[in-house]
A and B are shown apart, each in its own frame.
Chain A
Amino acid sequence: MNIVPVAIIVLVMVAFSQLSKRNILRLNVVAWMVIWWLAIYFALSYGINPPLPASIIGMFMFIVSLALAAYLTTSTDDMEAAKSAFVNFIINPRYALPLILVMIGLPVVSAYNVYSDMTQPPQPPLSTRTIHPPPPPSITFKGKTIDLIEDENPYRALKTDNPAEFAKHVENGRRVYFQNCVYCHGDNMAGRGIFAHGFDPIPANFRDPTTIAMLQETYLFWRIAKGGPGLPAEATPWLSAMPAWEKFLSEEEIWDVIIFMYEFTNQEPRAKEELH
Chain B
Amino acid sequence: MKKKLPFYLIATVVVVLMLIALNHLWTNWDAARELSNALAEKDAAGAPMDDGGTLEYREFPVIGSRVLVWMIAELHLMFAAFVLAVPMFAVIIEFIGYYTGDKRYDDLAYEFTKLLSTSFSFTATLGAMLTFALIILYPRLMGYLVNIFSWTFLPYVLLFFAEAGFLYSYYYGWGKFSPKVHLALGIGLNIVGTGIMFIANAWLTFMNSPAGVTETGALISTWDAINNFTWMPINIHRLIANVAFGGSIAAAYGAFKFLGAKTDEERAHYDWMGYIGNFIAIIAFLPLPFAGYWLGKEIYAYSQTLGIVMMGGTFSWLFIIQAVLIGNLFLGANYYLWVSMERIEGAERYRKAIKWLLASITICFIVWATPHSLVASIEEARKMGGAHHPILGVLGVMSAKNTAVNVLILTTYLSFLLYRRGNKEATHPRASLLKNIQFGIFSVVTIFVIVLGVAGYFVDATTRIGFSVPQVLSVLFAMISIAAIDVFLFRNAKSKGEIKWGQIKARAQYALFFLAITFTWLMGLMGYVRAGLRQHYHVYGIMEDTSAHAFTPTLGFAAGVVSVTVLIFFALIAIVFWLSSLSTKKKWEPKDASDDVYGLAEEARS
Interface residues of B in 293-309 (CB under 8 A from A): 297, 300-306, 308-309
CA distance A210 to B390 in the complex (A): 11
Tell whether, in the assembled complex, residue A201 and residue B304 are in contact, meaning their CB atoms are under 8 Å apart. Answer: no
Tell whether, in the assembled complex, residue B305 and residue A213 are in contact, meaning their CB atoms are under 8 Å apart. Answer: no
Cβ-based interface call for B389 (8 A): yes
Interfacial chain A residues near B461, Cβ < 8 Å: 213-214, 268, 270-271
Tell whether, in the assembled complex, residue A67 and residue B361 are in contact, meaning their CB atoms are under 8 Å apart. Answer: yes
Tell whether, in the assembled complex, residue B304 and residue A148 are in contact, meaning their CB atoms are under 8 Å apart. Answer: yes
Interfacial chain A residues near B305, Cβ < 8 Å: 134-137, 148-149
Cβ-based interface call for A59 (8 A): yes
Given known contacts A64-B362, A201-B386, is B308 in contact with A271 (CB within 8 Å)?
no
Give how many B residues have a beta carbon under 8 Å from the other chain's beta carbons.
Answer: 66
Shortest C-beta distance, A210 to chain B (Å), equals 5
Interface flags, A124-135, vs B, CB<8A=1, else 0? 101111111111
Tell whether, in the assembled complex, residue B358 and residue A63 are in contact, meaning their CB atoms are under 8 Å apart. Answer: no
Shortest C-beta distance, A248 to chain B (Å), equals 25
A-contacting 9-mer, from B99-107, B125-133, B376-384: B376-384
Shortest C-beta distance, A3 to chain B (Å), equals 14
Shortest C-beta distance, B546 to chain A (Å), equals 18
Tell whether, in the assembled complex, residue A50 and residue B383 are in contact, meaning their CB atoms are under 8 Å apart. Answer: yes
- Label chain B's interface by main secondary structure: helix
Interface flags, A260-276, vs B, CB<8A=1, else 0? 00000001101101111
Kindly identify which residue among B300, B317, B366, B380 contacts A273, using a CB–CB cutoff of 8 Å: B300
Interfacial chain B residues near A201, Cβ < 8 Å: 381, 386-387
Beyond the given A48-B392, A137-B303, A137-B541, please list 15 additional residue pairs across the A-B interface where CB-CB is below 8 A: A53-B381, A53-B384, A63-B324, A63-B327, A64-B362, A67-B331, A123-B379, A124-B377, A126-B376, A131-B387, A201-B381, A210-B396, A268-B462, A273-B300, A276-B229
Interfacial chain A residues near B302, Cβ < 8 Å: 275
Interfacial chain B residues near A171, Cβ < 8 Å: none
Q: For B456, give the chain A residue with the smallest CB separation.
A: A209
Interface residues of B in 445-485 (CB under 8 A from A): 457, 460-462
Tell whether, in the assembled complex, residue B313 and residue A219 are in contact, meaning their CB atoms are under 8 Å apart. Answer: no
Shortest C-beta distance, B352 to chain A (Å), equals 11
A and B contact pairs by CB, cutoff 8 A, 21 listed = A53-B389, A63-B365, A63-B366, A70-B335, A73-B339, A123-B379, A126-B377, A129-B387, A131-B373, A134-B308, A134-B312, A135-B308, A148-B304, A149-B303, A201-B387, A202-B386, A205-B386, A209-B397, A234-B314, A273-B297, A274-B301
Interfacial chain A residues near B382, Cβ < 8 Å: 200
Given known contacts A133-B312, A134-B305, A271-B462, is B366 in contact with A60 (CB within 8 Å)?
yes
Interfacial chain A residues near B297, Cβ < 8 Å: 273
Residue of A134, A201, A205 with most chain B CB atoms under a 10 A cut-off = A134
Tell whether, in the assembled complex, residue A149 and residue B304 are in contact, meaning their CB atoms are under 8 Å apart. Answer: yes
Q: For B335, give the chain A residue with the smallest CB separation.
A: A70
CA distance A73 to B339 in the complex (A): 8
Interface residues of B in 384-406 (CB under 8 A from A): 384-393, 396-397
Kindly identify which residue among A134, A191, A200 contacts B381, using a CB–CB cutoff of 8 Å: A200
Cβ-based interface call for B586 (8 A): no
Cβ-based interface call for B328 (8 A): yes
Shortest C-beta distance, B309 to chain A (Å), equals 4
Cβ-based interface call for B600 (8 A): no
Cβ-based interface call for B507 (8 A): yes
Tell whether, in the assembled complex, residue A267 and residue B460 are in contact, meaning their CB atoms are under 8 Å apart. Answer: yes
Interfacial chain B residues near A133, Cβ < 8 Å: 308, 312-313
CA distance A165 to B420 in the complex (A): 65
Cβ-based interface call for A101 (8 A): no
Shortest C-beta distance, A72 to chain B (Å), equals 11
Q: For B382, give the chain A residue with the smallest CB separation.
A: A200
Tell whether, in the assembled complex, residue A210 and residue B313 are in contact, meaning their CB atoms are under 8 Å apart. Answer: no
Cβ-based interface call for B275 (8 A): no
Q: For A126, give the chain B residue with the smallest CB separation.
A: B375
Given known contacts A70-B331, A210-B397, A234-B313, is B462 in contact with A55 (CB within 8 Å)?
no
Tell whether, in the assembled complex, residue A51 and residue B383 are in contact, meaning their CB atoms are under 8 Å apart. Answer: yes
Cβ-based interface call for A208 (8 A): yes
Tell whether, in the assembled complex, residue B378 and residue A123 are in contact, meaning their CB atoms are under 8 Å apart. Answer: yes
CA distance A205 to B355 in the complex (A): 40
Cβ-based interface call for A172 (8 A): no
Interfacial chain B residues near A71, Cβ < 8 Å: 354-355, 358
Cβ-based interface call for B338 (8 A): yes
Residue of A70, A213, A276 with most chain B CB atoms under a 10 A cut-off = A70
Tell whether, in the assembled complex, residue B312 and residue A216 are in contact, meaning their CB atoms are under 8 Å apart. Answer: no
Interfacial chain B residues near A202, Cβ < 8 Å: 385-386
Give how many A residues have a beta carbon under 8 Å from the other chain's beta carbons.
Answer: 59
Q: For B312, give the chain A residue with the smallest CB separation.
A: A132
Cβ-based interface call for B518 (8 A): no
Interface residues of A in 1-43 (CB under 8 A from B): 1
Interchain residue pairs A-B with the least CB separation, the first 5:
A268-B460, A273-B301, A53-B376, A132-B312, A134-B308
Tell whether, in the assembled complex, residue B393 and residue A210 are in contact, meaning their CB atoms are under 8 Å apart. Answer: yes
Q: For A233, give the chain B residue with the smallest CB separation.
A: B314
CA distance A270 to B342 in the complex (A): 51
CA distance A124 to B505 in the complex (A): 48
Shortest C-beta distance, B577 to chain A (Å), equals 26
Interface residues of B in 214-262 (CB under 8 A from A): 229
Residue of A51, A132, A210, A268 with most chain B CB atoms under a 10 A cut-off = A210
Interfacial chain A residues near B373, Cβ < 8 Å: 129-131
Interfacial chain B residues near A218, Cβ < 8 Å: 304
Interfacial chain A residues near B460, Cβ < 8 Å: 213, 267-268, 270
Cβ-based interface call for B369 (8 A): yes
CA distance A131 to B383 in the complex (A): 18
Tell whether, in the assembled complex, residue B372 and residue A210 are in contact, meaning their CB atoms are under 8 Å apart. Answer: yes
Tell whether, in the assembled complex, residue A135 and residue B304 are in contact, meaning their CB atoms are under 8 Å apart. Answer: yes
Given known contacts A70-B331, A213-B460, A270-B461, is B342 in contact with A208 (CB within 8 Å)?
no
Interfacial chain B residues near A267, Cβ < 8 Å: 460
Cβ-based interface call for A52 (8 A): yes
Kindly identify which residue among B316, B327, B374, B507 contacts A73, using a CB–CB cutoff of 8 Å: B507
Cβ-based interface call for A116 (8 A): no
Interfacial chain A residues near B176, Cβ < 8 Å: none
Cβ-based interface call for A76 (8 A): yes
Interfacial chain B residues near A135, Cβ < 8 Å: 304-305, 308
Cβ-based interface call for B500 (8 A): no
